[in-house]
Amino acid sequence: MPQLIDGKWVNDEVAANEMKNGAFHREPTKFRDWLTVDGGPGPEGQRGVKAEPGRFQLFISRLCPWASRTYVMRNLKGLADLIPVSIAAGAMTDNGWEYAEPQDTGEGTPAISYQHQLYTLSDPAYSGKVSVPALWDRQEGRIVNNESADIIRMLNTAFDELTGNRLDFYPEPLRPEIDHWNALIYDTVNNGVYKAGFARTQAAYDAAVTALFDTLARLEAHLEVNRYVAGEYMTEADIRLFMTLIRFDAAYVGAFKCNLRRIEDYPNLAGYTRELYQWQGITETVSIDDIKAGYYSIAHVNPTLIVPKGPALDFTRPHDRERLPGKGVWTR
C-alpha cells in the first residue's frame, strides 16, 4: 500500500514493512486513544477522551472490511446523529483513499480530500501506512484511534448514557467465547484472505489458503447448530466475520485467489451471511460495486485492472436461520 514517510506521501505498491519473506504481515495501527463516558483512561490505561455528541467523525470506505465494521457498529448503536461519517471512494488512487468532495474536519483545521491528510494533521512527521477507519476528534483536530477493533468496542459502550441504546455486542458472560473466535477468525479469515492475496511466494500462499479454508469448514460445522458465532446472540464476532464473508465471492475468490470454494458452496455460511446482511443498519453499509472496484484496482494482484461483471449475488434471498434458536442482541 502507499504510505507516508516522515510526513511525505510515497506511492509504493506495498509498504515494505508489510512484506517479510514473501508473506504479508499487517502493520500495527498507531493511534490508540480511547473514548470513555467521562474521559477517564481506557481499559488498558490508554489516554481517555470524553464521548461527546458532535465531537467525533468517522472516516471510512465501504470497500474496506475493517472500516465497514465501524460503520455497522455506528448504525446498530444508534449513533448516526452523533457521529457523522465521511465515505471515501471505492477504489484507491495514487493518493490513497480519496474523497469525492473535500471533507470538513472541524473549526481550526482544513478540509481534506485524501486520508493521508488526516494523518499529517495529527502528526506532521507520521511514517507508516494510511488506513481507514479513522476516528477523528473535531475538537482537538487529530485522530483519536485508527484501530477498527478498538473503535467498535468504544462505540459499543461510550455513548450509551447519551443515546439510551443498551444493545451490547460484547457482553461480559460471552467474552471468553467471543475472544476465542475473534482470534481465530482474525488470523485465518479476516487477515487470511489478505495473506493469500498479497503472498509473493507459493509457500506463503498455500499456507494462508489452507488455514483459511480449514477455518471456513470449521465455521460451517459450528453454524449448523449455532445461530451466531457465540451462540444465540449476535455479537461483535459476527460483525467481524460478516465483513469478510460478504466480500468473499465478489472479490476474494477472484482477485485474491481464494478459490477453493465460494461462500455459496457452504449452506450454513451462505445463509448466515444473508441473515446478517438483512439486519437493519447493516444492509446500507454494503456496496458490492465498491468492493469489486476496489479489490480489482490493486495493480499488483490484478495488473489489467479489469473489473469483472459477476458474480450475480442476491443477499435478499431467504436465509433459513430461523430454524436455530436466536435471541438477537444482548441488552445491558
Name residue 178's beta-bridge partners.
Answer: none
For residue 12, count CB atoms less than 10 angstroms from its CB and return exposed for 0-12, middle for 13-18, buried for 19 or more.
Answer: exposed
Tell me the Ramachandran region of residue 308: left when phi exceeds 0, alpha when psi lies from -120 to 50, beta otherwise.
beta
Tell me how far apart the alpha carbons of residues 4 and 224 are, in angstroms, rounded to a whole number: 45
How big is the chain by its Cα radius of gyration, in Å? 19
Name residue 168's beta-bridge partners.
Answer: 330
Cα-based distances in Å from 282 to 53, 65, 181: 22, 13, 21
Pick the catalytic residue from 71, 119, 170, 194.
194
Q: Which of 115, 117, 121 is nearest to 133 (CA)?
A: 115
* C-alpha cell read off for 290: 465498491
**Beta sheet of 167-168, edge-to-edge order:** 167-168, 328-331, 233-234
| Distant-in-sequence contacts of 217-221, Cβ < 8 A, 24+ apart | 219/185, 219/189, 219/268, 219/269, 220/266, 220/267, 220/268, 220/269, 221/268
Are 235 and 171 in contact by the 8 Å Cβ rule? The answer is yes
Query: DSSP for 244-261?
Result: HHHHIIIIITTTT---S-
Q: Is 266 a catalytic residue?
A: no
Are 31 and 143 in contact by the 8 Å Cβ rule? The answer is yes
Tell me how far apart the alpha carbons of residues 58 and 44 are, in angstroms, rounded to a whole number: 23
Q: Is 258 a catalytic residue?
A: no
Query: DSSP for 153-212?
Result: HHHHHTTHHHH---EESS-GGGHHHHHHHHHHHIIIIITHHHHHHT--SHHHHHHHHHHH
Pick the catalytic residue from 64, 258, 272, 296.
64
* C-alpha cell read off for 96: 490513497
For the annotated catalytic residues, the residue numbers are 64, 194
